[in-house]
A and B are shown apart, each in its own frame.
Chain A
Amino acid sequence: MAEKSHGTPAKGTGAHTEADGGHGGGFPPFESNTFASQLVSLFIAFVALYVIVSRFALPRVESVIDARQNAIESDLAAAQKLKDESDAALKAYETELASARARAQAIGNETREKLNAAAEAERKALEDQLAAKLTAAEKQIAATRETAMSNVRGIAADAAGAIVQRLTGVLPDGKTVSKAVDASLKG
Chain B
Amino acid sequence: MKIDPIHQFNIEPLFTIGHIGNHTIAFTNSTLYMFLSVAVISLLMIGGMAGRQLVPGRLQSIAEISYEFVASTIRSTAGAEGMKFFPLIFSLFMFICISNLIGIIPYTFTVSSHIIVTAALAFLVFFTVLIYGLYKNGFKFFKIFVPSGVPIYILPLVMFIEILSFFLRPVSHSVRLFANMLAGHIALKVFAGFIAMLGVSLGAIGWVGGVLPLALTVALTALELLVAFLQAYVFAILTCIYLNDAIHPGH
Contact = CB atoms under 8 A, between A and B. Distances in A.
A33 B114 CA distance: 13
B108 interface: no
Contact of B54 (A5, A6, A71): A71
A42 B11 contact: no
Interface string A21-54: 0000011111101111111111101101110111
Contact of A9 (B20, B95, B126): B126
B67 interface: yes
Given A2-B128, A5-B127, A17 B20 contact: no
A71 B52 CA distance: 13
B222 interface: no
Q: How large is the interface on B (under 10, 10 to 19, 20 to 34, 35 or more residues)?
A: 35 or more
Dominant SS among interface residues on chain B: helix
Nearest to B22: A36
B41 A29 contact: no
A112 interface: no
B20 A40 contact: yes
B207 interface: no
A50 B88 contact: yes
A3 B13 contact: no
Interface residues of A, number: 48
Nearest to B128: A2
B148 interface: no
A170 interface: no
Nearest to A71: B54
Contact of A10 (B60, B116, B178): B116
A38 B11 CA distance: 9
A102 interface: no
A60 interface: yes
A41 B54 contact: no
B114 A57 contact: no
Given A40-B20, A50-B88, A35 B128 contact: no
A39 B116 contact: yes
A121 to B, nearest CB: 78
Given A40-B20, A71-B54, A26 B123 contact: no
Contacts of A31: 11
Given A5-B123, A36-B24, A45 B34 contact: yes
Contacts of A126: none
Nearest to A32: B116
A172 to B, nearest CB: 139
Contact of A50 (B10, B17, B91, B131): B91
Contacts of A148: none
B31 interface: yes
A35 to B, nearest CB: 5
A27 B170 contact: no
B11 A28 contact: yes
A56 B95 contact: no
A5 B126 CA distance: 9
Given A48-B38, A52-B42, A29 B28 contact: no
Contacts of A46: 34, 91, 95, 121, 124
Given A2-B127, A9-B170, A42 B120 contact: yes
A37 B11 CA distance: 10
Given A2-B88, A41-B31, A58-B90, A29 B119 contact: no
Nearest to A27: B6
Nearest to B31: A41
A45 B37 contact: yes
Contacts of A67: 52, 54
Nearest to A34: B11
Interface of B: 6, 9-11, 13, 17, 20, 23-28, 30-31, 34-35, 37-38, 41-42, 45-46, 49, 52-54, 60, 63-64, 67-68, 86-88, 90-91, 94-95, 111, 113-117, 119-124, 126-128, 131, 170, 178, 182
Interface of A: 1-3, 5-6, 8-10, 13-14, 17, 26-31, 33-43, 45-46, 48-50, 52-54, 56-58, 60-65, 67-68, 71
